[in-house]
Chain A
Amino acid sequence: MAIGVKVMRRPEREVSYIRATLKGMALTFKHMFQPRVTMQYPEARSTEEWHIATRWRGTHRMMTDAEGRSKCVACGLCPQICPANCIKLVPGEDEAGNRYPLIYEIDEFRCVFCGYCQEVCPEEAIHVGVHYENAEYSRDRFVYDLERLSAQTHPVSTLWDPADPKGE
């Protein structure tokens, strides 16, 4: 059995046009006086009924430690797993042997927002964020460098939790 196909039993006789029309008109008239459901977007970003999901995967954010340095250790896992190949990472190492990214760039245009980078990151450094307002005046502004990624302040995605599949 493939997809269940619903068979509509259309009336064969006694088809009503007048009554159906009047019914439809009554319905639309009734709707004129019902409360509006539109959220006035730029003023209201969320309402009681609607708020953005915590699992939302939007533009990235790099977490920083207490001294303001990025948590990234340039292990190379995120460019490795990235299906869109949008992360550019050039690792570096300081005198103490701490690895850090020399260059860390994410091309948000290529990104498919799968969230694998966040899942794979051992240091919980790179995250996808709960954020969706990304208008810019030029295309090159969409390649986020390390500085810009660290400067983001929006909340980060909780991703999908296998133990809590419905996100409750």
Chain B
Amino acid sequence: MTPEIKGFLILAIIKVVVVFTVLLVGVALLTLMERKLAGWMQNRPGPNRVGPFGILQPAADGIKNFIKEETRPVAANGTIFVLAPAMSFIPAVMLIAVIPLAAPMRVDFDWNLPLIGHAAYHGLMAMSVADLPMGFLFILAFSSLGVYGVALAGWSSNSKYSLLGGLRASAQMISYEVAMGLSLIPVLLLTGNVSFSEIIAKQQAGLWFIGPLFISFFVFLISGFAETNRLPFDLPEAESELVAGYHSEYSAMKFSLFMIGEYSHIVVIAAMVATLFFGGWDIPFTRWDEQGGVLQAIATFLAFFVKMFFWIFFVMWIRWTLPRFRYDQLMTLGWKVLLPLALGYIMVTAGAIQGLEAAGVTGVRNVAFALAGMNLVLGWLLFYVLDRGRVMRGVSRRAPLPVARTEGVG
């Protein structure tokens, strides 16, 4: 092995350990945050018994889940039953690997280490666990793998509630996967690349994509919610109908794995929204963050964290605001609204880019601003139409039932 490969491996191992440790601890803290937010939004203090301000609550939950009894239904399909939590947990955790967490940092070392030998690294180090050239496709591929865990958990539990939950999860995730994937095509059209560093670089040069690709963002956000299986799209769990859906029969740490998977999914969706539409680690209105020093890496990580944290908060905020969708509404929204919207938007964006080129508008910045202007109009139009209920109809409009007056009956 050359010293360069050794240096690269050392850095990679350090990044893996740091990122996944931070992610898993962060996920534990997110459960606390969720419960705290739920409390505050309902004028309660939230958990506050374990440790100061309840800060140790996740640890208590973790210990409880470790020492709880593992139960398994007699009729369950053993192997799959054990594998399913891991199958929903691992893809969710792996997604974070390709997201650039900070600006690339210049690393220079040339060490002679015991056991390892001569290790060296010179140049920019990408601040993601794996700076894959096709990072974007990796995300799309792996985020849909999570559905296997959920569907198989529902199937192998051999319980009707679990099965229904698993079925719903598959149907929902497949439906929204389509809209999600299509909503991201305009990002690729505008960037011309599938690597995250390119996408961020493009946003730094022009505008954050929230401007030029607003409708993409809108569709992506909604389908992202659906992908995480959370309210208002938590039909796979739907506790009032299905007990706890696909994880009804799970207990102890297996159940915990589903939870960790769900929260990792939230983190990833938030990170993706931040990366794809809010410039990733970019600090706006300055080029200082691209110089590659340690200070810049820290500052850009903070910028990324703030953006991501806002979207995590947003996910929780929505959860404690909106009630659950009805199943047909969910499917209507996915197939009849988001899918045509995403498809149409691809056409519009492609046409606009082509048109701008033909009209002689060049330069990343000019194109971005022109598209942002177009999106302002389109977004307003979309919201106008949605707001008037012309796209999704209430059940009262669909079927003109005879008016049944219940007043004074009996």
A154 to B407: give the CA distance in the assembly, Å. 50
Which 5 pairs between the two chains have the least Cβ-Cβ distance? A15-B389, A2-B410, A32-B40, A28-B41, A24-B321
A59 to B245: give the CA distance in the assembly, Å. 42
Q: Are A2 and B409 in contact (CB under 8 A)?
A: yes
1/0 contact trace for A17-40 toward B, CB 8 Å?
111010011011101111111101
Cβ-Cβ contact count across A and B, 8 Å cutoff: 73
A2 to B406: give the CA distance in the assembly, Å. 11
Q: Are A37 and B43 in contact (CB under 8 A)?
A: yes
A-side interface residues, number (CB < 8 Å):
30
**Interface residue tally on B, bucketed by range:** 20 to 34
A7 in contact (CB, < 8 A)? yes
B44 in contact (CB, < 8 A)? yes
Name the one of A12, A15, A18, A38 contacting B44, with C-beta atoms under 8 angstroms.
A38
Q: Are B321 and A21 in contact (CB under 8 A)?
A: yes
- 14 sampled A-B residue pairs with Cβ under 8 A: A2-B409, A5-B407, A10-B394, A10-B396, A13-B388, A15-B389, A15-B397, A18-B387, A25-B318, A28-B321, A31-B40, A32-B41, A37-B43, A40-B45
CB contact list, B378-410 vs A, under 8 A = 383, 386-389, 392-394, 396-397, 405-410
A156 to B44: give the CA distance in the assembly, Å. 32
A65 in contact (CB, < 8 A)? no
Per DSSP, chain A at the interface is loop
- Find chain A residues with CB under 8 A from B409 CB: 2, 5
- Find chain A residues with CB under 8 A from B407 CB: 4-5, 7
Q: Are B389 and A17 in contact (CB under 8 A)?
A: yes
A residues engaging B (CB < 8 A)?
1-2, 4-5, 7, 10-19, 21, 24-25, 27-29, 31-38, 40
B37 in contact (CB, < 8 A)? yes
B2 in contact (CB, < 8 A)? no
Name the one of B45, B383, B408 contacting A1, with C-beta atoms under 8 angstroms.
B408
- Find chain A residues with CB under 8 A from B40 CB: 31-33, 36
- Find chain B residues with CB under 8 A from A34 CB: 43
Q: Are B320 and A28 in contact (CB under 8 A)?
A: yes
Q: How far is the CB of B312 from chain A (nearest CB, A)?
A: 15
- Find chain B residues with CB under 8 A from A25 CB: 317-318, 321
- Find chain B residues with CB under 8 A from A12 CB: 396-397
* A6: nearest chain-B partner, CB-CB: B407
B67 in contact (CB, < 8 A)? no
A32 to B259: give the CA distance in the assembly, Å. 25
A40 to B53: give the CA distance in the assembly, Å. 13
A36 to B42: give the CA distance in the assembly, Å. 8
